[in-house]
Amino acid sequence: METKQKTAKEKKTSVSTAVKEKKASASAAVKAKKAATVAKEKKVPVVEEDAEVKLKAEEVAKELPITEVVKFSGEYIKSVGRRKTSVAQVRMYKDGKGAVVINGKRGSQFFVGDGISIVTEPLKATGHVRDLNFSIIVKGGGVTGQAEACRHGVARALLLLDPLLKESLKVNGFLTRDPRKKERKKPGLRGARKAPQWSKR
């Protein structure tokens, strides 16, 4: 009886080990397939993204060739415009074609959207859209602050060019330095004015 029980146990253990080995081999094969598919999926999009980036760069280069960059030379009128924490250094050149270059880029390229229209508001108000060229270096702040700082500097430069333009510039508020800024945070408060919730006890 004991020998029969031993043989039965040995058979069961051998069968169980064989089943375990088959399962392990099957799981290893499945894992290998998954790894191969993941590697293929990872490799393919990288190549497509690189190709798309190259095509976009080529399109931008075609649309904005380097040869069309304006070269500034001769005498200029210098002014400074400010808004919030932005500072714009403006150089205005006479006998221009209405070119506006900001930080080495075209105005329409630097300010995507309505930013360039904000910068050219003083020129439209005074009728000097196509007469002058502007080279502007602007630093600090965000998009709106930089755009309005450039507008302030352009208006000041126009005033230096022709003092008779003061009325048209002042009526539209282009000469006033907007003093509004973000108020500093106070100690003990969550912001400039916002206080933590008050508890009675």
Residue 186 has φ and ψ, to the nearest 5°, of: -105, 145
Same domain, 81 and 164: yes
Residue range of the domain that includes 49? 1-63
Do the domain assignments include residue 137? yes
* Per-residue model confidence as pLDDT tens digits over 67-106: 355 778 889 999 999 999 999 999 999 988 889 999 999 9
Q: Which CATH number characterizes residue 117's domain?
A: 3.30.230.10
Give domain status of residue 178, yes or no: no
Structure tokens at 111: 């300010």
Q: Does some domain include residue 93? A: yes
Confidence of residue 3 (pLDDT cuts 50, 70, 90): low
pLDDT at position 113 over 50: yes
Interacting residues of 95 by C-beta distance below 8 A, sequence separation 6+? 131
Is 16 domain-assigned? yes
166 against 15, higher pLDDT: 166
Q: Is the distance from CB of 100 to CB of 153 less than 8 angstroms? A: no
Domain count, the chain: 2
pTM above 0.85, yes or no: no
Mark whether 133 and 48 lie in a shared domain.
Answer: no
Give domain status of residue 199, yes or no. no
